[in-house]
Structure 1
């Protein structure tokens, strides 16, 4: 097991890593395939690790570690731009002590031992199930077919009937999702356990997102105003220089076709929603549900700008203090989950 802790894992040779990774298959549910070794690097951290595949879904090996989690003070401190932006935004709400305000939004500082795991790279929606048009028409009320036809002949990109169905245009096709009203936490945990998977705890999620960093964001204490964010788009005006008759035109602006930065794979090869309207499910051993990575869009809807509005999605240790006031039915509409396999019984 010691070889699968992060410090020792990083020093193993390629052949030693391959041997361990192939041996992990014996601890996995039937159908797990080993794909190979891949390097992931971002925010100053890097991991050479194994990629696996199960029923079309990618998993990566994440080495374990002993880390400090939570946040209550700066490591490096904000730069001038972030400091001015943050103070201006929160002062409108009577906040004078910015550090105390931020600490009140974060999980408490604590030490944690994280076991080595295979972790699903992406997330799956808990409250919505993707279906075919035939399945949707068969399972839904008669007026669904009429709503679908109206959508097809409209110019709308998406349409949602609350806790009923969602329609999203994808080229010439329409993606259909139905609300999964019958799902319960108990049923989800039981289903995944029977299949050989577990769900993340808050400690594991914070480690997977920040890698044990002691800064506010996984990249540092200051906000990155060069990012492209969902709901805000590009935070900077991008220009391109083109050569025309040996001269350049600095005023030529092109569409920003970059992906949303917070959705890109991190240093473990994991993708996060990067959207404060979405939350990821974590469950503590006591059965307490702690949504991570969002606040249901509360801060954005409240008129906050990118910095504060995206704290729930970008800050490593953000914890939504009002989540326990919501019913399960209210949470699952925007909730996603990822599966894990804890390798605590790995024989070396």
Structure 2
């Protein structure tokens, strides 16, 4: 079987592990820059929403990547409205005091199933069939303009990661979360969700661990970011590639399944929302947009309104923000994220 054919998912999933090991070594040899350090290469098995995938995970310059097999016939986009979604997810009473919900209700009416279907279809990318190249994809999206440095334990103040980079701003970061010295102060005390000093560092509080993820920071636009990535042998995912990596080409609006509900809503608890999907990629670490290589933005900067479908929809595989990206505008690390990839294509050898 030819090398590139073997990397198609319908072939890849049936290959013996020893053959897969040979293929991943060839990928790393021919498609990753020799200036990059590759460590911790190992086999991983992911199972999510009934889909299983045996693949490889590795670090490239201390950042986590996973191999995603390609496909010649990914069906992407959505035109089925609320079909397949439980009535309880959209036929709910309105939180009348919420401005987000009230504004959408005024625009769409939301009196019947067709109103809801129109809103969902207009909030998702159009139905289409695409060929998706195999790729090495960053497991976690990073804040725009940042490079990961390490993790700071907010209880012990211990740092794990690139100590040399961290020492350049360690005192400034730690000064932002001094513990309260009195009981009265402790009643209102909360760690800041993010700390940004432009062109120096960025820190964000992980929602599960309560520790800070630390990054170096540089102001960038999408255009300058893409230039930087290309020099290092990376690209931003296209919208097609992003949707495929998120939902594995399944015909479900949500990667976890259209029928799955959690309590009174469809948005998963944080533990499940941040769990690796069927390809080992995670989504939804922070409230904000994720970049593609074009003008389309995935996910959303969203104020929850306690309505099941409205709060879940930005996490849908095919969701497309109504905000149009401006390629030369400086982007906020708090609001925007990016995900690196290396495409495994013949013309990139």
Inter-CA distance 308–86: structure 2 relative to 1 (3 Å threshold): farther
| Alpha-carbon distance, 1:119 to partner | 0.8
Instruction: Select 2:32's aligned residue among 28, 32, 37.
Output: 28
Contact 2:265 2:308 in 1 (8 A): no
Q: Tell me if 1:340 matches 2:341.
A: yes
Q: Tell me if 1:72 matches 2:79.
A: yes
| Alpha-carbon distance, 1:83 to partner | 4.3
Contact 2:46 2:52 in 1 (8 A): yes
Q: Tell me if 1:114 matches 2:132.
A: yes
Inter-CA distance 346–39: structure 2 relative to 1 (3 Å threshold): farther
Structure 2's unaligned 5+ residue stretches are 96-100, 150-164
Contact 1:25 1:34 in 2 (8 A): no
Q: Tell me if 1:310 matches 2:312.
A: yes
Matches within 5 A, 1:78-93: 78-85=85-92, 92-93=105-106
Q: Deviations over 1:275-302 (max 9, x none)?
A: 4x22211113xxx3x2212x2114x2xx
Question: CA–CA distance in 1 between the matches of 2:233 and 2:83?
Answer: 41
In structure 2, the partner of 1:51 is 57
Inter-CA distance 174–218: structure 2 relative to 1 (3 Å threshold): closer
In structure 2, the partner of 1:15 is 18
Question: CA–CA distance in 2 between the matches of 1:80 and 1:316?
Answer: 20
| Alpha-carbon distance, 1:120 to partner | 1.1
| Alpha-carbon distance, 1:181 to partner | 6.1
| Alpha-carbon distance, 1:345 to partner | 2.6
Question: CA–CA distance in 2 between the matches of 1:198 and 1:326?
Answer: 15
Contact 2:136 2:342 in 1 (8 A): yes
* Bigger mean CA deviation after superposition, 217-226 or 334-343: 217-226
Inter-CA distance 192–319: structure 2 relative to 1 (3 Å threshold): same
Contact 2:219 2:330 in 1 (8 A): no
Which structure is larger by alpha-carbon Rg, 1 or 2? 1
| Alpha-carbon distance, 1:81 to partner | 2.5
Q: Tell me if 1:266 matches 2:277.
A: yes
Matches within 5 A, 1:258-297: 260-273=271-284, 275=286, 277-284=287-294, 288=295, 290-293=296-299, 295-297=300-302
Tell me how many residue pairs correspond in the alignment: 305
Q: Deviations over 1:235-260 (max 9, x none)?
A: xxxxxxxxxxxxxxxxxxxxxxxx52
RMSD of Structure 2 on Structure 1 (CA): 3.8
What secondary structure sits across from 1:260 in the alignment? Answer: helix
Contact 1:76 1:221 in 2 (8 A): no
Inter-CA distance 134–24: structure 2 relative to 1 (3 Å threshold): closer
Inter-CA distance 184–74: structure 2 relative to 1 (3 Å threshold): closer
Inter-CA distance 79–186: structure 2 relative to 1 (3 Å threshold): closer
Matches within 5 A, 1:183-262: 183-226=220-263, 260-262=271-273
In structure 2, the partner of 1:95 is 110
* Bigger mean CA deviation after superposition, 34-43 or 5-14: 34-43
What secondary structure sits across from 2:321 in the alignment? Answer: coil
Q: Deviations over 1:158-217 (max 9, x none)?
A: 2367876877689xx985968946322232212211111111111111000011111211
| Alpha-carbon distance, 1:124 to partner | 1.4
| Alpha-carbon distance, 1:92 to partner | 4.6
